[in-house]
């Protein structure tokens, strides 16, 4: 098979994404870096080597840096390696529309996500300050969904980006920003108002938000309460930026909603992912971030024409069972084109999920039957895996 000159290098960050896409554009060679992070609590020892390799491969110049959404496993590396990233020249930064600093003022229906994220962060800081040992899987899920304003501000203000930051949603054009007409980018998600993704989980977020907004100032927690996290003190009182009332409400909210409340928050954030289709050198490459089923359902309805056979798929949400709708695989990766398709899964086993482990073995098996090669960082000892088209 002829090589179109496209290289997709996925760095071994652990449970997270860091993908460098290099491709020809006329006389130029373009470099796009998509995300850089791993799950909270994982070691970042490989990060310096990764960012150094990115710098060496690109000459310190990125045409586009993409931050698909605000989870730490997609952005922590930018911030933790900022001394090195300060040296890069970045022509454009692409971010999902909900990362715009004024987003929640413009779309108040989505406010529940911000409110819960901020108070969940305060809950985590209070628990950490009291040296509370939360269940590891819950702590990872919670930390990954904290409000990370400092990380986001750093990416949008990268010293070398000249403030060329685009906040993108379905239908936006990025023509000539920065590529030539030979490169077509179609933005498939997110929608303007991300509350459309709350869907079947909307009641979890709405109920949690209502509890957080409750006005029962006089309520106090029962010291005999039995709740999911008995090691967390029941008494009132929180950190400096969390009132006693908000601490009580948040504790009660998590007690009543359990881990499912935080999972609903996690799903909502995943569905803010920037999803885009790249068409270059006669190839179609799909990068869906961590989009989950609610986002895919909207894409299938709003931009069905774009969801046709592709040559490369970056598997969404690290290979989770709810990150790739199998009913779309006949369209994206039809079995008749198996020899023309390449699939990448950036993931690590035994980090995320207990009842539904990530990656999902059945999904991985299905994907292998629909491509000529499936690349994965799971269990990989080298610094990266690399696909060429």
Q: Going by C-beta distance under 8 Å and a sequence separation of 6 or more, which residues neighbour residue 235?
A: 221, 223
Task: Kindly state whether residue 157 falls inside one of the protein's structural domains.
Answer: yes
Q: What is the pLDDT of residue 40?
A: 84
Mean pLDDT of 316-321: 96
Same domain, 59 and 80: yes
Residue 1 within a domain: no
Question: pLDDT category, 222, cuts 50, 70, 90?
Answer: very low
Residues in a beta bridge with 96: 168
Residue 67 has pLDDT above 70, yes or no: yes
In this structure, the answer to whether residues 75 and 11 fall within a common structural domain is yes
pLDDT bracket for residue 225 (50, 70, 90): very low
The H or E element that residue 67 is part of is strand 61-67
Residues 25 and 72 in one domain: yes
The whole-angstrom separation of Cα 47 and Cα 83 is 12
> Do 252 and 224 share a structural domain?
yes
Mean pLDDT in residue range 154-169: 87
The answer to whether residue 57 is domain-embedded is: yes
| Residues linked to residue 287 through DSSP beta bridges, in sequence order | 276
231 lies in the same domain as 312: no
Mean pLDDT of the chain: 84
Assess whether pLDDT exceeds 70 at residue 202: no
Among candidate residues 216, 248, 267, the one where a domain is terminated: 267
Residues 209 and 76 occupy one common structural domain? no
| Tokens read off for 87 | 């040296």
> Is residue 2, in this structure, part of any structural domain at all?
no
Sequence-separated (6 or more) residues with CB below 8 Å from residue 77: 13, 16, 18, 36, 37, 38, 44, 47, 50, 51
List the one residue out of 15, 5, 3, 4 whose CA is nearest residue 318.
Answer: 15
Write the pLDDT tens digit of every residue in 336-356.
Answer: 999 999 999 999 998 876 667
User: What average pLDDT does range 361-386 have in this prediction?
Assistant: 97
- Label residue 237 by pLDDT band (50, 70, 90): very low
Using the predicted structure, report yes or no on whether residue 283 has a pLDDT greater than 70.
yes
Residue 160 lies in a domain: yes
Pair 94, 157 in one domain: yes
pLDDT band per the 50, 70, 90 thresholds, residue 200: low
Q: Tell me: pLDDT of 207 over 50.
A: yes
- Per the structure, the count of domains in the chain is 2
Instruction: Write out pLDDT tens, residues 75-113.
Output: 999 999 999 999 999 999 999 999 999 998 888 878 777
pLDDT for 115: 73
What are the backbone angles phi and psi of residue 175, rounded to the nearest 5°? -60, 130
CA 320/CA 316 separation, integer angstroms: 7
Per the structure, the complete domain to which residue 222 belongs is given by 108-144+199-267
pLDDT-based confidence at residue 375 (cuts at 50, 70, 90): very high
DSSP β-bridge partners for residue 9:
20, 386
């Amino acid at each position: 098979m002829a090589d179109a000159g496209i290289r997709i290098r996925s760095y071994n960050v652990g449970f997270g994404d860091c993908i460098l896409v290099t491709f020809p554009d006329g006389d130029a060679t373009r470099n796009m870096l998509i995300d850089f992070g791993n799950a909270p609590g994982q070691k970042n020892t490989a990060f310096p080597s990764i960012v150094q390799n990115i710098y060496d491969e690109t000459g310190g110049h990125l045409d586009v840096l993409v931050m698909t959404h605000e989870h730490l496993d997609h952005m922590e590396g930018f911030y933790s390696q900022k001394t090195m990233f300060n040296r890069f020249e970045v022509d454009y930064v692409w971010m999902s529309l909900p990362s715009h600093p004024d987003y929640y003022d413009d779309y108040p229906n989505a406010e529940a996500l911000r409110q819960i994220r901020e108070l969940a962060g305060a809950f985590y800081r209070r628990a950490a300050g009291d040296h509370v040992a939360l269940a590891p899987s819950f702590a990872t899920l919670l930390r990954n969904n904290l409000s990370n304003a400092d990380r986001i501000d750093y990416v949008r203000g990268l010293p070398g980006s000249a403030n060329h930051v685009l906040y993108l949603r379905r239908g936006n054009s990025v023509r000539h920003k920065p590529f030539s007409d030979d490169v077509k980018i179609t933005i498939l998600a997110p929608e303007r108002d991300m509350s459309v993704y709350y869907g079947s989980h909307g009641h979890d977020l709405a109920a949690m938000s209502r509890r957080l907004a409750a006005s029962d100032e006089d309520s106090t927690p029962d010291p005999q309460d039995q709740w999911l996290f008995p090691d967390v003190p029941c008494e009132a009182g929180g950190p400096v930026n969390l009132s006693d009332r908000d601490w009580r409400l948040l504790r009660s909210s998590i007690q009543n909603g359990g881990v499912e409340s935080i999972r609903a928050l996690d799903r909502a954030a995943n569905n803010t992912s920037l999803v885009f289709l790249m068409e270059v050198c006669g190839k179609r490459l799909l990068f869906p971030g961590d989009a989950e089923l609610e986002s895919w359902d909207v894409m299938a309805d709003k931009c069905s024409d774009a969801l046709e056979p592709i040559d490369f798929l970056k598997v969404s949400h690290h290979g989770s069972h709810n990150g790739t709708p199998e009913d779309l695989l006949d369209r994206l990766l039809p079995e008749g084109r198996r020899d023309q398709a390449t699939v990448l899964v950036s993931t690590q086993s035994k980090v995320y999920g207990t009842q539904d482990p990530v990656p999902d073995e059945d999904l991985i098996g299905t994907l292998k039957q629909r491509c000529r090669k499936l690349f994965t960082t799971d269990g990989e000892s080298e610094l990266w895996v690399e696909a060429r088209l």
